Amino acid sequence: MGNRVRIKDIATKVGVSTALVSYVLNGKEKEKRVGNELVKKIREAAIELNYQPNQIARSLRNGSTKTIGLIVADIAIPFFGQLARVIEDEAAKSGYTLILGSSDEDANKQNSLINTLSHRQVDGLIIVPADGTCNQIANLQKRGMPIVLMDRYFPELNVSHVCLNNYQASYEAVGHLIKKGFQQIGMIAYQSGMIHMRERIGGYRKAMETANLSEYIKVIEIPYHFTRIQTEKTIEQFLDDNKEIEALLFATNSLTTAGLNFINKKGIKVPDQMGIVGYDGNEAFDFFYAPITIVEQPLAEIGTKSVNVLTDLISDPTKIIKYDLSHFLNIRNSSS
């Protein structure tokens, strides 16, 4: 872009050195005791010439880009889009801009995103880590990059994170179903070694055990890359194989959507023939004919905390903080 005007042009025009211009334009005229007359002249010249600072040059000189890299699984998924928005706004408050990447839960993609972003000298990274990327994160941290893990983390690593307390969330979700009178409760989860999924399943198991329903524990884990059709087929098979199931806990929003779709097609009545609790509600459930209980995450809190933990980390690399936030149990209901 024809961003021709440099600090030097202003300096020449006013007849001073570039140092003076830099002081004034950065608001250090008091500190540096620049003459009032000159301050005014420099300001005017800057406006007249329509000076636009070159942040790249500034970054190179300062060693800080005022930039945060955000790596999510997929920005097209509303959960991550909403999170990104909160992060964007919170980051802007501290003068940071977002550079974005989607990993598709793929370790290789995540790796190349991390490389791209760190070459661009982002000041820090907020990452929703993909399965099997523990080493990537460990290496990155070792090289001194400030990192906050979001939505999931690696328990074996001492890295800052902001996540949901998934264990507790599932535990209470199942408790809710049990209180409603369901006993044969199954769970539809994703196939993933990541802590968030393990804890969602773990909380379910624990709740069943606590209620003396261990014998009814039934979990199916669906691969992330399954299509909608494949997912519905798998759920169908699961229910065919376990006809005694009275209620289902879905581990993510997209699984809930696929599940409800399937239930709709089959004409299974909710909640009479099947009790339902799902993670991460969205407006879609408002249109479902029956109220759906939802494990809702505190999105705004997750986003703002992630940014704040990161900026703290940037100014003090030893300040590692870990949040496991609480969920809400909400009811999505078309008549509310």
Residues in contact with its own copies, counted by CB under 8 A, come to a total of 57
Do the beta carbons of residue 49 and residue 10 sit within 8 Å?
A: yes
Do the beta carbons of residue 176 and residue 248 sit within 8 Å?
A: no
The CB-of-121 to DNA minimum distance in angstroms stands at 9
CA atoms of 119 and 139, how far apart (whole Å): 15
Q: How far is CA 335 from CA 147, 267, 271, 284, 331, in A?
A: 43, 21, 16, 13, 11
The sign one gets for the Cα dihedral 309, 312, 317, 322 is negative
Q: How many CB atoms lie within 10 A of CB 138?
A: 16
Q: Is 286 in the site for its own copies (CB under 8 A)?
A: yes
Q: Is 15 in the site for DNA (CB under 7 A)?
A: yes
Which residues are 277's β-sheet partners? 249, 293
Binds DNA by CB under 7 A, chosen from 7, 197, 260, 307 = 7
Q: Quick one: which H or E segment has residue 67?
A: strand 67-72
CB of 117 or CB of 127, closer to DNA: 117
Lookup: tokens for 181 = 């009178």
Residue 193 contacts which entry, its own copies, DNA, none (Cβ below 5-8 A, type-dependent): none
Q: Is 43 in the site for DNA (CB under 7 A)?
A: no
The CB-of-143 to DNA minimum distance in angstroms stands at 14
Q: Is 20 in the site for DNA (CB under 7 A)?
A: yes
Q: Quick one: which H or E segment has residue 185?
A: strand 185-190
CA atoms of 15 and 186, how far apart (whole Å): 78
CB of 143 or CB of 243, closer to its own copies: 143
CB of 117 or CB of 164, closer to its own copies: 117
Amino acid found at 258: A
Binds DNA by CB under 7 A, chosen from 40, 44, 47, 60 = 60
The CB-of-139 to DNA minimum distance in angstroms stands at 19
The CB-of-113 to its own copies minimum distance in angstroms stands at 9
CA atoms of 318 and 146, how far apart (whole Å): 10
Q: Which residues bind DNA (CB under 7 A)?
A: 6-8, 15-20, 22-23, 25-26, 28, 32-35, 37-38, 51-54, 57-58, 60-63
Q: Which residues bind its own copies (CB under 8 A)?
A: 1-3, 52-57, 59-60, 65, 67, 74-78, 80-82, 84-85, 88-89, 97-102, 115-121, 143-146, 257, 260-261, 264-265, 282-289, 334-335
